[in-house]
Amino acid sequence: MDNPDICPAYYHDASADESIKATEATISHIQSIDPKGRLIAPIITPRFAPTCSFESMAGLGRLAASFNPPLHIQTHLSENKKEIALVKELFPQSSSYTQVYDGSCLLTPRTILAHAVHLSPEERVLIRSRGSKISHCPASNTAIGSGLCSVRTLLDDGLTVGLGTDVSAGYSSSILVAVRQACLVSRLVTYASSDESRHANLSAEDALYLATRGGAQVVDMADKIGGFDIGMFWDAQLIELGPGVNTDPDGDPREADQQITSNVDIFGWESWEERIAKWVWNGDDRNVKAVWVNGRLVHTRK
């Protein structure tokens, strides 16, 4: 960030050159910790267009492209309408907010664009043509009243979408909370558009997909994470539901295990889909019995 007119004096780089040099140093530090990028990898992060000069964004774009493979890029796009108006004022030579990033070589197949709430059809076409991806941050968008992102429209237009938390504006780092919020926001999109077909609605299954396989696609790791296919990393949670019973949906209920502390009651008649929906809407960290990252057990509780 090197725009002194937007950034506080204590919170911006002195120049575009200083910003690039600081980014290079950060990349070197991260790669010294994990040279192969198995668990942590650097990502180029221009805060968003209003805080950056065109020179700094273009320099970051060239820096990302200088690596093999190119580094990932993340930034914000079209989160609220006042932001869009500000970008138009700061970059009058660009036809749209998205075009600012495209013109500075930041719109690439390895770019993650957070929010993307108010995209024009032309911007959606441009993003798809560049292969960039979108991180939908419903809790953040709702918390600051920035607007309702029509995820279904993005998906229908062929864009790759995953879920994000953006806790600086939101209130939780839990991706499960983001799943709930994605479902709720989609219902408001339907209401706001008077779309009686409810096409915009996201089901619990839709939102869980965005949180897992969708997110993996956004970070170009769909062959490694997000699912349980053979050869993927064993990234998993063991979820326990209750108090309640744990039988086949057609079986006779057994006495509930009262030792389980949970918001999610299971009575025995639920299908697996219904149990998952109960966890999505009522579950929390108390249901997490174990967590594995790349096959290593990193959390367990009795």
Residue 72: what residue type? H
Residues 2, 15 contacting (CB under 8 angstroms): yes
Question: Which of 207-221, 244-258, 288-302 is the least confident region?
Answer: 244-258
Model confidence at 199: pLDDT above 50: yes
Average pLDDT (13-35) is: 92
Angle CA 255–259–264, to nearest 5: 80
DSSP letter at 210 equals: I
Q: Across all residues in the chain, what is the average pLDDT?
A: 90
> Which pLDDT tens digit goes with each residue over 167-184?
777 788 899 999 999 999
> Which pLDDT tens digit goes with each residue over 128-155?
999 999 999 999 999 999 999 999 999 9
DSSP letter at 12 equals: S
Assessment of whether the complete model's pTM goes beyond 0.85 = yes
229: helix, coil or strand? Answer: coil
> Which pLDDT tens digit goes with each residue over 76-98?
999 999 999 999 999 999 999 99
For residue 243, the model assigns a pLDDT of 66
Name which of 204, 189, 192 is nearest 153 in CA terms: 189
**Cα gap 205→202, rounded to integer Å:** 8
For residue 261, the model assigns a pLDDT of 65
Model confidence at 29: pLDDT above 60: yes
pLDDT range class, residue 257, cuts 50, 70, 90? very low
**Cα gap 289→286, rounded to integer Å:** 8
Q: Which domains does the chain have, with CATH numbers?
A: 16-218 (3.20.20.140), 236-300 (no CATH)
Residue 159: what residue type? L
